[in-house]
Amino acid sequence: MAVRVVVVGAGFGGLGVAHALRGAGVQDVTVLERGDDVGGVWRENTYPGAACDVPSPLYSWSWATNPTWGRRYSTQPEILDYIRRTAAADGLRDLVRTGTSVTALEHVDGTWRVTTDRGVLEADVVVPATGQLSNPSIPGIPGADSFAGPAFHSAQWRHDVDLTGKRVAVVGTGASAIQFVPAIVDRVSQMTVFQRSAPYVVPKPDRAYTAAHHRLFERHPGVPAGERRLTYWITERFNGALEGTSPITRPLMATIREAWRLQLRRQVRDPELRRRLVPDYELGCKRLLFSNDWYPALDRDHVDLVTDAVTAVEPEGVRTADGTLHEADVLIWGTGFAATEFLGGIDVRGVDGLPLDEVWADGARAHLGMTVPGFPNLFVVYGPNTNLGGSSIIGMLEAQAGWITEVVRRIDAGAAHQVAVRREAWESYDAEMQRRLGNGIWAGCDSWYRDGGRITTNWPGLVAEYRRRTARVDWSELEEVSPRPTSPRR
């Protein structure tokens, strides 16, 4: 009987796995999506100014190139439209059950029991593809729920709240904030931005594609393909620089740092404000951000950048460590996501009821970022140590989709039933990851890449290396967990 596969999440990762499985002849695939449509983070994050910081020709599926991108760096509505159109054209949309939240995954008698808010399914293989940036994070600041006005996270934007003429408090200066702050700054009467750590913000070489560009792309597909290859080559050089093993690490980082310094000096008039916008950590240790209008937005007369620590939220505003109450009408959290809480919100239990939370008590780890001993036929997409400091994550997701598909094809053919990584391979791989990450640039500061003393989110090498390591399944690293069950399927 054909293998039953349940994919959790209908973003780039989950849909990419479904595409690869269907292409390999695996027909019984169901994609469960908690939202009301496909799209993942690009469906959820609708804040003003939302856009990608990877050029569009590379930030797209290799099997679904798009010559009609409107910009080099596409905006959220256009990316979401691309995902929707591609999913529909490829037949993937028919596999998706929307409005279905998965609450538990339990391995019972050789089968995965998938519990949702709309009932229970059974599957031979489960592929969680919920991503690292799916669950918004709001810090546990005293009084966070006491604010009298509208308060919301950037990933849960309240479009019904009119910001015109309002006093707006923004907590956080990460990748989302540097996009939505410039987009709303001219509508508000006063803005207070609370910065815990200054980011490095470098110029974004963005531009709109004209009708002439689109004619060129349509008539000569090699042009956008060439841009994709060039962007990939450039970002791979940056990935190598972050690992610290590339001979161009120092000159490349020096060039990026100079671009940051010149932009800051050119765009911020006030020397004191410039001083507060200088990061206190090494370039690359935290996520490098791209924007042409972040610094000008902070340099407005009605904008105040506060670097004192936030100690409390009160009905009237935000109080900082110096005792000042910064009054506001609207509070926006730009505090990112619970990136290290992989599969957050899903109770996962493997063989003999083993809780995944227990295995990951001191930090998530998975062989190739996908498989954990004791959890047969559970393969995580965009799992531990697969995030990138540079380049397009879609390259990593497609590599994972190919590896998972090879495993599922073997299961589907009856050559195996339940497979998971051998413990020694899992431990050896994790030791390698932590050793390499400990020698790289991310080890030098506290960031969302870390869970305690471990860097659990990021991949330490090039995308090309990860592709090589996942191009073929090394079956010596996997083991058959138990024989095929004899009980009939329900």
- Which of 333, 350, 373 terminates a domain? The answer is 333
Q: Nearest to residue 475, comparing CAs of 403, 398, 374? A: 403
Give dist(CA 239, CA 234) in Å, integer: 9
382: which 2 tokens? 């965009």
Q: Report the pLDDT value the prediction gives residue 424, as an integer from 0 to 100.
A: 98
CATH of the domain at 329: 3.50.50.60
Q: What is the pLDDT of residue 247?
A: 76
pLDDT at 1 over 70: no
DSSP 118: T
Is 212 part of any domain? no
> Over the stretch 252-297, which tens digit does the pLDDT of each residue have?
889 999 999 999 999 999 999 999 999 999 998 899 999 999 999 9
Amino acid 339: pLDDT: 87
Shared-domain flag, residues 326 and 383: no
Same domain? 311 vs 175: yes
Query: Is there a domain that residue 227 lies in?
Result: no
Answer yes or no: is pLDDT of 446 > 90. Answer: no
Residue 39 lies in a domain: yes
For the segment 157-179, the average pLDDT, to the nearest whole number, is 97
Q: What is the dihedral of CA 212, 213, 215, 216, to 10 degrees?
A: 120
CA 487 to centroid of chain Cα atoms = 40
Residue at which a domain ends, from 313, 333, 353: 333
Determine, yes or no, domain membership for 486.
no
Whether residue 473 is found in the same domain as residue 343: yes
pLDDT in tens, 217-243: 888 888 888 989 999 998 898 888 877
Q: Is the pLDDT of residue 487 over 50?
A: no
Q: What range does the domain containing 255 cover? A: 151-207+248-333
Q: Coil, helix or strand for 400?
A: helix
| Same-domain pairing of 89 and 161 | no
pLDDT of residue 490: 34
pLDDT in tens, 91-104: 999 999 999 999 99
What global pTM score does this model have?
0.94
Same domain membership, residue 413 and residue 297:
no
Residue 63 pLDDT > 90: yes
Domain presence at residue 238: no
Which residue, of 286, 317, 333, is where some domain finishes? 333
Task: Mark 407-420 as b/e (b = at least 16 C-beta within 10 Å).
Answer: bbbbbbeeebbbbb
Q: Is residue 220 part of a domain?
A: no
User: Taking a C-beta distance cutoff of 8 angstroms, is the pair 205, 291 a contact?
Assistant: no
Count up the domains in the chain and report the number.
Answer: 2
Query: Same domain for 286 and 430?
Result: no
pLDDT score, position 482: 62
